[in-house]
Structures are given as C-alpha cells and as structure tokens.
Structure 1
Amino acid sequence: MRLAFMGTPDFAVPSLAELIASGHEVAAVYSQPPRPKGRGQQLTPSPVHAFAETMGLPVFTPDSMKSAEAIQTFRSLAVDAACVVAYGQILKLEVLEAPRLGCFNLHGSLLPRWRGAAPIQRAIMAGDRQTGVQIMRMSEGLDEGPILLSEVLDIRSDDTAATL
C-alpha cells in the first residue's frame, strides 16, 4: 500500500521501520518540527524525523496539520492509509478522510484508561498491573474510534517506560 506515516518519539520508530520492512511504499513521513535541544539549544529533529531521513524518505514537519496548506499537501499525496503513532497533533476530519482507507493509530495503552500523551508512563505511575497497545481507526475525538486490534502486556515491577 501507499502510506503516510505520522509519528514523533522513539516509541514510533519501530512501527515506521516495520512498515518499510514489510514492503509498503511510505510516500511521506510527518513529524513534529525540530526543537531546541541540549546546552547549545541546537534545533534537533525528532527520532522519527531522523530515522526517516536515514531511510531516504520525504519528511514534513508542519507546525500545525490544521492549516489549509498542510491539509492540501497531505491530500496531494494520494495515500491509501495513514499510520499514526504518537504524532502529537489532533487531526482534523479533512486529514482523517484524505487517505482512501482512513487513518489508523497505534496507541500505547488499553483505551479508554489512558488517553492522550504519555500513556505508558501514566500506567506505570498509577501502579497498573497490565497495559497494552491498541490499533484503532481514527475519528475526530482524542484517541477515539473503533478498536481493531489489542495486545495486553503485564507490567513487571522493574519496568520503566523504555522497557515496557
């Protein structure tokens, strides 16, 4: 399939790598704009952005996917589907409906327990014994839409966000 990938942190990189390895055509990668980092406050691309560049993929980093220009650019890609993993922006209906098959989100918790940002960290901090990941077809609400696949994981007492 012809796909767009939308993600930002380290958590999203394995999903992008898997899509590439599976033989799908990744037409574009969207990530948050580079941010100042370190003592020198050098603009640094996100982990997804950096990985996509090493793979030779085109990367888009709009400040907002709500602008008419960003939406038109996304539509012009004519993708079959968009895969979203911790992108960091809420997508408007025009974006969600642009791909032929829709937009699909991999969320790092079992919904609806931990919607929004940092669901893995929140599950650990709350002392949850289990968490998981879910893939959903995205709708307009935050972490809403029909859930298509779930995987449950036990949280070990020594787990950190990175190990989990």
Structure 2
Amino acid sequence: MRLIFMGTPAFAVPALDALVAAGHEIACVYTQPPRPAGRGQKLRPSPVQARAEALGLCLRCPVSLRDPEALAALAALGADAAVVVAYGLILPPAALAAPKRGCLNIHASLLPRWRGAAPIQRAIMAG
C-alpha cells in the first residue's frame, strides 16, 4: 500500500520500521518540526525525523496541517492510507479525508480512558 506515516517521538519509530519492512511504499513521513533542546537550545530533530532521513524517505515538518497549502500537499500524495502514531498535532477533517482509505491511529494507551499527554504513565498510576 502507498502510505503516509505521521509520528514524532521514539515510540513511533518501530511502527515506521515495521511498515517499511513489510514492503509498504511510504509516500511521505510527517513529523513535528525540530525543537530547541539541551543546554545550547539547538534545534533537535524528532526521533521519527532522524529515522526517516536515515531511511531516505520523503519528509515534511509542517507547523500545522490547517494551512490550505499543507493540506493540498498532503492530498497530492495520493496515499491509500495514513498511519498516525503519536504525531502530536490535531488532524483537521480535510487531512483525515485525504487518504483514500482513511487514517489508522496507533495509540500507546487503552483508549478512551487513558488518553492525553501521558497515557502510559496514567495507566501505570491507575494500576
């Protein structure tokens, strides 16, 4: 399948690797833009960005997907589906509708109860 992958933290990297290993065509990888980190506050790419670059995949780091140009670029990829893993940005309805067969969300928690900024930690705290 021709897929779009959307993810940011290290948690998302194994899913990207699995899709590549399964032979899916990754049309493009979307991740959040590099953020300042460390003592020098130098821009640090996300783990997904680093992995996508290592794999030689098309990469986009939009600040938002609400921009008409960003949405048009997403739709122009002609993807069958999008796989979303801890992307960190809200996908507007137009982004969700862009892939022919929709979007699949892989989430780290037991939805819907343990969602939010720290789903794994909240599930552990709850026993």
**Structure 2 length-normalised TM:** 0.97
Pair 1:51-2:51 in alignment: yes
**Sequence identity of aligned pairs in percent?**
63
CA–CA distance in structure 2, aligned partners of residues 117 and 24 of structure 1: 30
CA–CA distance in structure 2, aligned partners of residues 114 and 92 of structure 1: 22
CA–CA distance in structure 1, aligned partners of residues 78 and 72 of structure 2: 11
Structure 2: runs of 5+ lacking an equivalent: none
Report the counterpart of residue 96 of structure 2 in structure 1. Answer: 96
Structure 1: runs of 5+ lacking an equivalent: 129-164
**Hey, which bits of structure 1, 4+ residues long, moved more than 6 A?**
none
Once the two structures are TM-superposed, the CA of residue 109 in structure 1 deviates from its matched residue by 1.2
CA–CA distance in structure 2, aligned partners of residues 26 and 36 of structure 1: 28
**Bigger fraction of residues in strand:** 1
- CA RMSD in angstroms comes to 0.8
Amino acid at match of 2:12: A
Q: Quick check: which has more Rg, 1 or 2?
A: 1
Q: Which has the higher contact order (CA 8 A, sep 6+)?
A: 2
CA–CA distance in structure 1, aligned partners of residues 77 and 117 of structure 2: 27
CA–CA distance in structure 1, aligned partners of residues 116 and 32 of structure 2: 16
Amino acid at match of 1:95: A
Aligned length: 127
